[in-house]
């Protein structure tokens, strides 16, 4: 199961399904539904390994923002991390800042005058922007648009001055000169974005926003099933063709153990829970 058709989760689920169904001897069918429906369905599915969930960080953070029909920790058995991807910090060309440090200095000199765009309250760009605001100690104003497309148009038109965007969505505008990229949000530089420094290394030490996508099973799924799926996904992620397909979406393959994914989920819940509480973010 994966989120909406055409989404990053959908692409990830379909690619992984294609790679593992042969070795597992099973036909894998993708069921696309909204995240809140998916969570409830998988949480209450029979824990036999026949129902799996492919989701990203927004899925396990969602219960911190609104009432959801699942508990991100209690209702699922983590299996494996599939990908890890940064976002890009981009600004309107009129912004007098070419580095993260210059952007922070500009925001401090003009408190409340810089707006950052997002696709909606509680979304990834909103959380990344609030983490940036809180860590830098600056006053920038959140403008939620109705979707990522509207947010991009708002930024390009000058209604907002900066945003944290999914690379495939914002980099074409960077290449055309409509936006300027300052940095990527992951803790480490990425070979997928040569020449772009990290936010942490170019003005805000410790800043890290990495979007992890993972595979989950219902809680109480037998360890032997978890181990088998984990092994097959890790095998698939070593395939150069698979790595290239993910790279084309701005993501690096991850892999690892179930414990690695669980640690990531717990760390995200702690970090984003603090950001959400301090910013008073709530999705109605």
Which element (helix H / strand E) includes 269?
Answer: helix 258-279
Give yes or no for a contact between 73 and 102, defined as CB atoms under 8 angstroms apart: no
- Specify the pLDDT at position 2: 47
pLDDT of residue 7: 66
8-85+210-279 and 88-184 have identical folds: yes
Domain positions in the chain are: 8-85+210-279, 88-184
- Residues 119-158 as b/e (b if ≥16 CB within 10 A, e otherwise) read bbebbbbbbbbbbbbebbebebebbbbeebeebbebbbee
Q: pLDDT (tens digit, 9 = 90+) per residue, 184-196?
A: 999 999 988 999 9
Q: Tell me: the pLDDT tens digits for 94-143?
A: 999 999 999 999 999 999 999 999 999 999 999 999 999 999 999 999 99
Q: Which of 18-32, 95-109, 145-159, 256-270 has the lowest mean pLDDT?
A: 18-32
Question: 134-158 pLDDT, tens per residue?
Answer: 999 999 999 999 988 889 899 999 9
Task: Spell out the alpha helix ranges (H) of 85-238.
Answer: 100-109, 124-136, 148-156, 167-175, 223-237
State how far the Cα of 45 lies from the Cα of 219, in Å rounded to an integer: 9
Fold of 88-184: D-Maltodextrin-Binding Protein; domain 2 (3.40.190)
What is d(CA 91, CA 180) in angstroms, rounded to the nearest whole number?
5
> Above pLDDT 70, what percent of the chain?
97
**CA 151, 124, 128, 118: dihedral to nearest 10 degrees?**
20
Alpha-carbon dihedral sign for residues 80, 147, 33, 75: positive
| Cα(131)–Cα(121) distance, integer angstroms | 14
Q: Going by CATH, does the domain composed of 8-85+210-279 fall within 3.40.190.150?
A: yes
CA angle, residues 249, 252, 145, in degrees to nearest 5: 45
């Amino acid at each position: 199961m994966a989120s909406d058709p055409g989404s990053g989760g959908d692409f990830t689920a379909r690619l992984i399904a294609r790679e593992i169904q042969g070795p597992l001897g099973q036909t894998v069918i993708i069921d696309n539904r909204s995240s809140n429906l998916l969570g409830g369905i998988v949480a209450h599915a029979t824990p036999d390994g026949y129902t799996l969930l492919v989701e990203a960080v927004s899925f396990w953070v969602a219960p911190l923002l609104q009432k959801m029909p699942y508990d991100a920790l209690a209702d699922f058995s983590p299996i494996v991390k599939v990908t890890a991807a940064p976002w890009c910090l981009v600004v309107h060309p009129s912004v007098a800042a070419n580095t993260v440090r210059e952007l922070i200095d500009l925001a401090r000199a003009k408190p409340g005058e810089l707006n950052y765009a997002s696709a909606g309250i509680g979304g990834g760009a909103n959380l990344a922007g609030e983490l940036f605001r809180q860590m830098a100690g600056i006053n920038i104003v959140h403008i939620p648009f109705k979707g990522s497309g509207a947010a991009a148009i708002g930024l390009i038109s000058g209604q907002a001055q900066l945003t944290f965007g999914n690379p495939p969505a914002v980099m074409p505008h960077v290449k055309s000169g409509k936006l300027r990229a300052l940095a990527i949000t992951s803790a480490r530089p990425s070979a997928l974005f040569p020449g772009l420094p990290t936010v942490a290394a170019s003005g805000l030490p410790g800043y890290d926003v990495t979007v992890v996508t993972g595979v989950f099973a219902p809680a109480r799924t037998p360890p032997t099933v978890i181990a088998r799926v984990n092994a097959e996904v890790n095998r698939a992620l070593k395939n150069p063709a698979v790595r290239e397909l993910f790279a084309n979406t701005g993501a690096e393959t991850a892999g690892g153990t179930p414990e690695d994914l669980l640690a990531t989920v717990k760390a995200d819940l702690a970090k984003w829970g603090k950001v959400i509480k301090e910013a008073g973010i709530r999705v109605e």
